């Protein structure tokens, strides 16, 4: 890598998939207040809803993440148009 091209806060960050609990340790500039202990070190933690370990395209399983009930609202609203 070239020197002096990354921001000052470029460091290791843990991305955690909230659906599967999978943790990915990589470098990032993301700002986060949460931290996690991993392998005896403390890292910043960034929580994601969907990653490659839980996305239906990559897993082959249909899984619906609907925390706000938007799908039910849609189905109720357009149920009268269903044949």
pLDDT at 8: 82
pLDDT at 71: 75
Contact by Cβ (8 Å): 67, 49: no
In the chain, where does DSSP find H-type helix?
56-59, 70-77
Closest by CA to 33, choosing from 24, 18, 44, 42, is 44
Query: Could you say which DSSP state residue 61 is in?
Result: -
- Regions of the chain with pLDDT less than 50: none
pLDDT at 50: 79
pLDDT at 22: 87
pLDDT at 63: 56
pLDDT at 14: 94
Predicted TM-score (pTM) of this structure:
0.61
pLDDT at 19: 80
pLDDT at 1: 64
Q: Which residues is 45 bridged to in the sheet?
A: 14
């Amino acid at each position: 890598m070239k020197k002096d091209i990354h921001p000052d806060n470029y460091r290791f960050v843990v991305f955690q998939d909230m659906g599967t609990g999978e943790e990915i340790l990589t470098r990032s500039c993301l700002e986060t207040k949460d931290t996690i202990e991993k392998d005896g070190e403390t890292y910043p933690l960034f929580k994601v809803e969907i990653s490659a370990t839980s996305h239906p395209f990559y897993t082959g399983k249909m899984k619906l993440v609907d925390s706000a009930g938007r799908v039910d609202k849609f189905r109720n609203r357009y149920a009268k148009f269903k044949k």
